[in-house]
Amino acid sequence: MKKIFFTLLAAALCMPMMAVGLRQKKADKDTNEFRYEIECAGNAIQGTYLVKVWSYSKKAAIAENQCRKNAVHGVIFKGYGGGQGCVSQRPLANNPGAEAQNQEYFKSFFANGGEFQKYASIMEGTTETVKVGKEYKIGVVVSVRKDDLRKALEAAGIIRGLSSGF
């Protein structure tokens, strides 16, 4: 009887953790499938891009956390449009197959607590939350250190540097 009680208790305690894990997995899947929006958030200081990223999740906290990952992902693979004084930017990876060709590298790069964190910081007080159906759409302004990010990708051989071949 005791055994069954403890098993049920452990399961009940684990359930929320598993749910968070599943939601995180879903958020990562959304990132890989480009299910986020990225737009210019203004002119940034030299060496950085200032972008606004909209991410989706049933849990507001997860969506907010995912915004940093999505901002770096967007700068590398998606680029963003301009307008209203903003200049549109092409993705750092010119080759459309770069992500698939370097799967292992990007798996660890975008893992939770991975290297991507070094290149993005959330601008405090910029979070916007919109409830869309059953999930949240969270918009956050993120500053991406694109020069450092580009150098890291060049060093890893993912993208070509301007002076490569010379």
- CB-CB contact of 97 with 117 (8 Å): no
d(CA 64, CA 140): 7
Q: Which stretch binds other proteins (CB under 8 A): 16-24, 40-48, 52-60, 134-142?
A: 40-48
Is 90 a binding residue for other proteins by CB under 8 A? The answer is yes
**Looking at the chain, how many residues does it have?**
166
Of residues 85, 113, 125, 133, which one binds other proteins by CB under 8 A?
A: 85
- Could you tell me the smallest distance in angstroms from the CB atom of residue 149 to other proteins? 12
- For CA atoms 106, 25, 52, 79, give the dihedral sign: positive
Q: Give CA separation, 158 vs 52, 71, 105, 117, in Å.
A: 25, 18, 9, 18
Q: Map the footprint of other proteins across residues 119-148, applying CB under 8 A.
A: 146-147
Question: Quick check: 96 binds other proteins (CB under 8 A)?
Answer: no
Find the binder of other proteins among 16, 46, 113, 125 (CB under 8 A): 46
Which residues in this chain contact other proteins in the complex, by CB under 8 A? 43, 45-46, 82, 84-90, 94, 146-147, 160-163, 165-166
